[in-house]
Amino acid sequence: MANPSTSRREALKAQQLAAEKAARNRKMVGLGAIVVAVLLVVILAVVLISQGGKGGGSVTPPNAVVNSYGVQAGTNPNSVKDGIGIAQDKAKPGAPVVQLYADYQCPGCKAFDEAFGVTLNELARSGEIKYSVQIETFLDRLGTNKSTNPAIGAACADVQGVFPEYHLAIFKGQPTKEGAGYTTEQLRSTFPAAAGLTGEKLTQFQSCFDTRATATFVDQQNKFNTAYTTAQYTKLGGETNPEAKAWGSTPLMTVNGKRLDTTKLDAANQASLLEAIKATAG
């Protein structure tokens, strides 16, 4: 006959072993869940960075401005910020309002920026003009996010106070073939370095870019800028009118809401730019 005391000890030991096994199983399941979660985060980050995902935040650059002419035209009825100003606080009273509409994939925009980009920044900083860049991303049709990604980088650069420099670096590094797109390395490392970002500032920029923190702003830039320029194109009769066609392409420069013909500027004579701006302003 079995000893009752021995049976109870054996039963208790069996229960303890079962409990220890269950605890080990729970621990393994918990660790597995953590590993899976970490892998998912890493995969998502890689997708966002390397493929330019569709996610993003709603960070608005500190120098974002509203195209008042677009508001007046009814194409931006809620006065949404749709451009990035350069040294607008330095503009002299009555300084001409100069707006540059461009797409970072546009070869003509690169040519114009290389000819007059630095001069425009200098005129803004000296107070001669009230200047803003109105970025469009319509050339995303050449490849998903190929225009949007550099625009996100430019907006993140403004958060770090180096938009003018980053803007110049983008066009300087534009691929020879239209539609080839910029590399992630260019956008998150090469261009910010050229703009002077290092250390913590560079880390903050890269975090902004990697998480697409300015994506909503870039989207509304394209939405309201293209709505405004398209409205002018339509009002002027479309393809049948050369003036209308000029409003429908980039680069497009306006002065106090009037188009300045950039094809007549002389890159060898930088003073011709301010002269043309004053003439267009009237």
Q: How many CB atoms lie within 10 A of CB 109?
A: 25
73: tokens are 């035209």
Q: 127 — alpha (psi -120 to 50), left (phi > 0) or beta?
A: left
CATH code assigned to 64-281 = 3.40.30.10
Q: How many CA atoms lie within 13 A of 162 on its CB side?
A: 20
Nearest Cα to 167, choosing from 191, 147, 198?
191
CA distances 115 to 29, 108, 151, 169, 218, Å, are 62, 11, 21, 13, 25
Distance CA 104, CA 182 (A): 10
CA 154 to chain centre: 5
Give the pLDDT of the chain (282 residues) as one tens digit per residue: 555 445 555 554 555 555 555 555 544 444 444 433 434 333 334 334 333 444 579 999 999 999 999 999 999 999 999 999 999 999 999 999 999 999 999 999 999 999 999 999 999 999 999 999 999 999 999 988 999 999 999 999 999 999 999 999 999 999 998 888 999 999 999 999 999 999 999 999 999 999 999 999 999 999 999 999 999 999 999 999 999 999 999 999 999 999 999 999 999 999 999 999 999 998
Predicted TM-score (pTM) of the model is 0.80
Contacts of 247 (CB under 8 A, 6+ apart): 229, 232, 233, 236, 259
CA 148 to chain centre: 6
Residue ranges of the alpha helices (H) in the chain?
A: 4-51, 68-72, 107-125, 148-159, 163-172, 184-185, 191-194, 199-210, 215-235, 242-247, 271-281
Largest CA distance in the chain: 116
